[in-house]
Structure 1
């Protein structure tokens, strides 16, 4: 009988332990909920490698909602400009103002409240809950959708993949599982030239040719 835990989750986590991008600055365990939220906003429509260089000075300059709220949009824009999509400067500032006004400076811990913040969508809200509360859920982006649709040979419909991802997510260590899916999709199960011949998930993968 096909066991998703044995066929997908366990080998994926083993691969991540050996090969994952553990040096990404927003994955450092001491990061605050606000710093994690900042990272997710910066990562929207931008690669992790691009954000990596800009994140440390950005988080150092704006470690809390109070420091963002008193800054001008133009000042914030100087930090995010290298990433493109400079409108994120306004997103970050308005988001910080909302956190101060509605949540006394604390990043909300409920999905509905996160979704009310400016610049926060479903993926960002779920990712924050995974990292801040340790919820056993998953966040689905283009890369996760590609990985799961290939492995399970299912239609890459976002809602269907989200159900599969949540079912796979462990009750503890969901952050590692999320990172593992993202890193594996970026390094092995890529969009253009997937590394199928050397893929550790090749044998049980429904899309493998042998």
Structure 2
């Protein structure tokens, strides 16, 4: 018997949509990606599109598979390798976080929220993303795209505030145990492909039956 609970419908339809339409080919989502690869990808994805990161990620993780390999490279060379991504402060994130990993964590990426947050350049979203994708922890992550989806579907007033505790609490409440990585990726891909900031594709939305958003609101 099909469920009529909006929260359950949201999660089921979202994951079903993602299974068919998700960007499963992204290399940092591969099972072979190491926790350090995942951390590198999350640094690169900050304020940067997946398409831009794709142009850099493969060569970067091949050249820099470990924190030590980053520390062994002159800073200017490292900066040149990620220059096309913009946001040059990322160079400092990579070097200082790598130094912390080597000195404090035996060159491994920690698997606790508090330790991840201690790393240079790591905020709440990056920390929870690493926990979900690298360590399969049951945690949710909220960025601008996720906040927009939750706000529209459930009629919240926090669509432009990913840091709002209400968004994080709802995302955690909706989290399907054991599927946090798929759940976060589904939300990211859905925000990029269907529930976009402008001109969302409401006519072909799998959440249409439960969503409280009106397309007229964005016109």
Report the TM-score range of the alignment, normalised by the length of the smaller protein: over 0.9
Shift of 1:25: 1.1
CA separation of 1:209 and 1:86: change in aligned 2, threshold 3 A = closer
Partner of 1:24: 26
Cα distance per residue 1:20-71 (max 9 Å; x no partner): 0111110111100001000000100101111111100011110111101111
Select which of 164, 169, 194 maps to 1:163.
169
Equivalent position of 2:134 in the other structure: 132
How many residues were matched structurally? 210
Conserved in 1, the CA contact under 8 Å of 2:53 and 2:85? Answer: yes
Secondary structure at 1:108 match in 2: coil
Provide the rounded CA distance (Å) in 2 between the counterparts of 1:104 and 1:4: 45
Q: 1:90 aligns with which of 89, 92, 96?
A: 92
- TM-score, structure 1 as length reference: 0.96
Cα-Cα RMSD: 1.5
CA distance in 1 between counterparts of 2:128 and 2:8 reads 25
Q: Secondary structure at the match of 2:70?
A: helix
Give the one of 203, 207, 210 matched to 2:209: 203
Structure 1: distance between partners of 2:184 and 2:110: 20
* Stretches (4+) displaced over 2 A: none
Q: Secondary structure at the match of 2:40?
A: helix
Partner of 1:60: 62
Q: Secondary structure at the match of 1:46?
A: coil
Gaps of 5+ in 1: none
Task: Kindly indicate whether the alpha-carbon contact (under 8 Å) linking 2:200 and 2:215 is maintained by their aligned counterparts in 1.
Answer: no
Find the counterpart in structure 1 of residue 196 from structure 2.
190
Match of 1:120 among 115, 119, 122: 122
**TM-score, normalised to structure 2's length?**
0.92
Contact 2:70 2:94 in 1 (8 A): yes
